[in-house]
Amino acid sequence: MRLRRAVLACPGSSPRMMARAAGSGADEVFLDLEDAVAPSEKVAARQLVVDALRHHDFGRSLRCVRVNQIGSALVLGDIEAVVRGAGDRLDTLMLPKVQDPGDLAFADRLLTGLEAELGLARPIGLEVQIEDARGLVHVDAIAAAARVEAVVFGPGDFAAAMGMPQLTVGAESPAYSGDLWHYPLFRIAVAARASGRQAIDGPFAAIRDLDGLGRSAARAAALGYDGKWALHPTQLDVVTQAFTPTRADFERAQAIVAAHHAAADGDRRGAVMLGDEMIDEASRKMAAQLVTRGIAAGLGDSTSAAAP
């Protein structure tokens, strides 16, 4: 299970920021060639990104590069420059503003050719951003496409595309009595899970509002998301914590799995009691996924008798 609890965004035009991001300890770092880079700097940023991937130690962080939108004048040069220059150091490419599976077919075929030509031992995965109505309509087919590892919600472009009166990316709205983002978030989560992909929430742009960030991250975690973007290293701890089971929840989940296994060993395959709670196969499945997340986060190990 690839951890993507906190995904740190970093402008590909800033060597200083990329050096800092490499040592941040984020589960994933993506070096951006799209929105975070001024148009006049986009071509030059390609080599800066390649240099960062080749020369910095990213530790256990996944290494990703966000290229420009499929269909733009820049995307072909982005992909070729990054893969030719540092394909052996790259885990995934992120594709913004994906609208239909055809966008991914282009990227898949281009990567297949480059990997063969360069003799790359590992295939490069794709992370896809859903940022407008058309992308959300086609999200099932997008999530199911080849190479896709994660489906990412982009609240800023989505709000703009929908005509929503938002001025701060990812912010809540006092004018709306419910959760403004519930439908696109949950729709993306369902599509991602149906194809065995991870679901990642996008950014919360109010950097100093850590309470608001915490609420945003907790909401995504409650919907089953695997992680969320961080726009600044100061956001990493809050985001990571939101997607890491508490020690108490992890131990409770282990106890549920262990109790169910013990009952099954005794040929009691139905519901059993654990304390004051009735548990059954559905309970075991709920607990098992939390145990898996906890093990991935370092709370335990897979040799435990209670591991799923």
3-state secondary structure of 152: strand
Q: State how many domains the chain has.
A: 2
Residue 308 domain-assigned (yes or no): no
Whether 38 is covered by a domain: the verdict is: yes
On whether both 88 and 216 belong to a single domain, the answer is yes
- Asked if residue 302 is part of any domain, the answer here is no
Any domain includes 303: no
216 with 263, same domain: the answer is no
Enclosing H/E stretch for 281: helix 281-296
Which domain does 35 fall in, by range? 6-242
Side chain identity at 200, as an amino acid letter? I
If asked whether residues 60 and 202 sit together in one domain, one would say yes
Q: How far apart are CA 200 and CA 306, in angstroms?
A: 28
89 located within any domain: yes
* Residue 153 and residue 60 share a domain: yes
Q: Which among 199, 215, 242 is the end of a domain? A: 242
Q: Say yes or no: 87 and 206 in one domain.
A: yes
Sign of CA dihedral 215, 220, 221, 227: negative
**Are 105 and 23 in a shared domain?**
yes
Domain membership flag for residue 306: no
* pLDDT tens across the length of the chain (308 residues): 689 999 999 999 999 999 999 999 999 999 999 999 999 999 999 999 999 999 999 999 999 999 999 999 999 999 999 999 999 999 999 999 999 999 999 999 999 999 999 999 999 999 999 999 999 999 999 999 999 999 999 999 999 999 999 889 998 888 888 899 999 999 999 999 999 999 999 999 999 999 999 999 999 999 999 999 999 999 999 999 999 988 887 888 788 888 777 766 555 556 776 777 777 888 888 888 888 888 888 888 765 544 55
280 SS3 class = coil
Choose among 81, 71, 59: nearest CA to 102: 71
Same domain, 134 and 62: yes
Q: Do 191 and 278 sit in the same domain of this protein?
A: no
226 and 252, same domain (yes or no):
no
Maximum separation of any 2 CA atoms in the chain, in Å: 69
Q: Distance between terminal CA atoms of the chain? A: 14
29-59 as b/e: b if 16+ CB within 10 A: bbbbbbebbeeeebeebbebbbebbeebebe
Query: 227 and 258: one domain?
Result: no
Helices (H), 87-167: 101-118, 133-137, 139-144, 155-162
3-state secondary structure of 235: helix
- Spacing of C-alpha 51 from chain mean position: 24
Within-domain flag for 79: yes
- Quick check: 288 and 257 in contact, CB under 8 A? yes
